[in-house]
Amino acid sequence: MIPTRNQRTIADPAVVRGIGYWSGRDVRVEFRGAEVDCGIVFIRDDLEGCPRIAASVANRTETPLRTNLQSGGATVEMIEHVMAALAGLQIDNCQIRVNQPEMPGCDGSSMPFVEALLGAGIVEQDAPRTQRVIRRTIRLGNEESWIEARPCCSSKTILQYELDYGSGSPIGQQTLDIVLSPKSFCNSLAASRTFVLEHEAVAFQARGLGRRATCKDLLVFGAEGPIDNRLRFPDECVRHKLLDMVGDFALAGCDLIGRFLAYRSGHRLNAELVRAVMAEGKCCKGLKRCA
């Protein structure tokens, strides 16, 4: 672990409201500043005792198509876009008070959270942020989907994703790599939205999920492309996969330095790689409970 920058938090509270894609419930999220070494902590204000859930890979529970956390009997769900916004802006310490388990889907991207956090202001704190440098290649998965961490000659975080839905799909093949920084995250990833194929959306709603979400709330791909919506980037889908990687990697609780490559991977493999990286050598500095 080598400190390379100071930790950061937000200057003022910020609020984001929306509906949960899966539950259809109205959700209010309030971001508050937190002291040094607090990390990111979710607080369920709607539950007795306001239980706290640290944003750690140790608290992740396996759930298809999203990233959920659990501590004791309390859960928070679909946190990846919130975590991506915080990590992308290099906000290391933050309390997130919520009145529902699921985070609001908003427009399917991290941009509503980014805008709220930037509006609150970001302040540097008088303590170093730790990092974990990739020293050897770690590869997980199989030929159909895999993720890999490699050493890098620079002190940067470089992400690459190869998306492949096949030549007959409206999404097709897309590849993108990016050197992660607050500027590159805001310009290239934050606005990219969740996407599903039309038959997947129909199946979700048949199960009673996503009843309040529409084709204008996220990208639903029909045979000819997005239904009742327009792409923000020609390769928006692969950009969103990179956004998800940023959010899932934030569960390490420190900056990950190296080159990270993924082929058709998702939240599960992202988390498994974080666990494997954190198992290498000493763990990050312990986080203390926030007041």
pLDDT digits (tens, 9 = 90+) for 262-290: 999 999 999 999 999 999 865 444 334 34
47 located within any domain: yes
| Domain enclosing residue 68, as ranges | 5-130
| Number of domains present in the structure of the chain | 1
110 located within any domain: yes
Q: Which of 81, 199, 240, 267 is catalytic?
A: 267
Q: Is the Cβ–Cβ distance between 270 and 249 less than 8 Å? A: yes
285 located within any domain: no
We report the CATH number of the domain holding residue 105 as 3.30.230.20
Q: Which residues pair with 177 in a beta bridge?
A: 160
Please report the DSSP string for 102-164 in residue order.
BPP-TTSSSHHHHHHHHHH-EEEEEEEEPEEE--S-EEEE-SSSEEEEE--SSSSEEEEEEEE
74 located within any domain: yes
275 located within any domain: no
| Angstrom distance (rounded) from CA 120 to CA 123 | 10
Closest CA relative to residue 71, chosen from 79, 254, 8: 79
155 located within any domain: no
Would you give per-residue pLDDT tens digits along the chain (291 residues)? 555 799 999 999 999 999 998 888 999 999 999 999 999 999 999 999 999 999 999 999 998 889 999 999 999 999 999 999 999 999 999 999 999 999 999 999 999 999 999 999 999 999 999 999 999 999 999 999 999 999 998 889 999 999 999 988 999 999 999 999 999 999 999 999 999 999 888 888 887 777 778 888 889 999 999 999 999 999 999 999 999 999 999 999 999 999 999 999 999 999 999 999 999 865 444 334 343
141 located within any domain: no
184 located within any domain: no
Based on the residue annotation, tell me whether 267 is a catalytic residue of this protein. yes
pLDDT digits (tens, 9 = 90+) for 163-212: 999 988 999 999 999 999 999 999 999 999 999 999 888 888 887 777 77
